[in-house]
Each structure stands twice: as C-alpha cells, then as structure tokens.
A = this chain, B = another copy of it.
C-alpha cells in the first residue's frame, strides 16, 4: 500500500471521499497542507493490467513477426487481451494498414501485358472472417476443434474482411490474376464458393483447395507446391496476402508478402 501526497492545486479526486477537501483534513501527518490520498486499490489494478498488457503486447508482436512458432493456444493470461484486440479498434486498424500498404504496392508495381501477373489470397482470416465462430470459442484461448469449425464453415456465413475486399477489388481492377489458395478441403469447395460470393468476392481466376493428396501436408509445403505450379505455368507472383506465415514463406515466394494480423491461431 502506498500513500500519495499530492498538491492541493490538482487534487486527483477519483474515488476519494469529499470530506478530504474540508480544510481540517488538508494537513498530512507532517503538518503540510496537502490532502492524504489512499489509492492503493486503483494502483494495484492498474499495475496488473499494465503488466499483462506489456506481456501480451510482446507476445502478439512476436507472433506477428514469426518469432513464436508453432503455438497451440493463446497464453492463458492473454485471453481477455486478445478478445479486446479482436473486438476493438486495433484489429480493424491493423487490417486497414495492411490493405493500404498492399494497395500502394499493387498500384506501383509494373505489370506485363501478358496477363501472367498474379496475386494470391488466403481465405480464412484473410478474405473471410471467422470472428463470429471464434467469439463463441474463446478467441483462440481454447484448443482448435476441427469438427465444430467445419460445421461453421458449412454455414457459409463468414463475413468479408472489408479492407481485404477493397484490396481484392483493387488488384482485380489493376489486371492481376487472382488465385485463392486455401487450406480448406476440396470437399468444402461448394460452401466456400457460396460464402465468398455472399461476402462480395467475385471473378477470381482460380480457387485452389486441398485435394485428397494434399491432406496431412504442412500448410507451408502444400502452399509452396501450389505456388511452384503457378510459377511453372508462367505466372509471376507479385503479391501474396495471408494471415499465417505458412501462407507466405517457403519456396516460390511472392515478390511481396502481406501478413494480416491473427493472434487467435497458428497453422503449421
């Protein structure tokens, strides 16, 4: 418990009973004309919050910079933090920033006239948001349940990530070939198309899902193989947007990669 003596010119009165402002109380035990403020409760709560925030900020930064991998669930102490991040303005602002930077790059990169300049988009947490699902499942603080998640996918109800829809339309208008490269299974093609259309995505050139032979491959291997195939077909992969580093790293990497934020889950 700390006792704070503060200047009577700027008395921080929150939680302080008014009686402290009567002249008779404006003397400390040292006889100085200052109010005695007991604010240990507020200080304790504040410090706990600050420590957790400091820890979780560092954890999230390390996730986004690919320093922590693999990881299974959000650290227990960061459950509320990740929820706040996802539901508050920061996640939206971060999505906006990535979309703006990718759009600036797309506008300024030189395209050939042969129609072989390509942009790749991942789907989940890149074009479509599963936030409604994760809001009901602990925002990544409980272990991933593939069965329940597939049921959610079958609803075809995931909303668009608006800044990504904006980028999607921009690169489409600029003349890029747009490839959608997802870890979803070929069995989910129909619901995925339905969901994408419902969310406003149109006219992609190819939607690539995991074929039976791709099941069990690490995402980074599967996605690298698919990029290699594109390169062999003569495509120049100029941009790649994904929320997982396994969307972006590996072989036949894109000239520029754009990492969308995702502190809820990690895909190996």
Interface residues of A (CB under 8 A from B): 10-15, 18, 21, 54-55, 57-59, 61-62, 64-68, 89-90, 93-94, 96-98, 101-102, 257-259, 261
Contact = CB atoms under 8 A, between A and B. Distances in A.
A59 B10 contact: no
A260 to B, nearest CB: 9
B62 A101 contact: yes
A97 B13 CA distance: 38
B54 A97 contact: no
Contacts of A102: 67
A146 B94 CA distance: 32
A66 B10 contact: no
Contacts of A54: 89-90, 93
30 contacts: A10-B15, A11-B13, A12-B14, A13-B13, A21-B21, A54-B89, A54-B93, A55-B93, A57-B90, A57-B93, A57-B94, A58-B90, A58-B93, A58-B94, A58-B97, A59-B97, A61-B61, A61-B97, A62-B94, A62-B97, A62-B98, A62-B101, A64-B65, A65-B65, A65-B259, A66-B259, A67-B102, A67-B258, A67-B259, A68-B97
A54 to B, nearest CB: 5
Given A57-B90, A89-B54, A101 B14 contact: no
Q: Identify the interface centre among A18, A67, A98, A258: most chain B CB within 10 Å of its CB.
A: A67
A89 B47 CA distance: 13
A138 B223 CA distance: 42
Nearest to A249: B253
**Top 7 nearest A-B pairs by Cβ distance?**
A13-B13, A58-B97, A65-B259, A58-B93, A64-B65, A62-B97, A67-B101
A8 to B, nearest CB: 8
A75 to B, nearest CB: 11
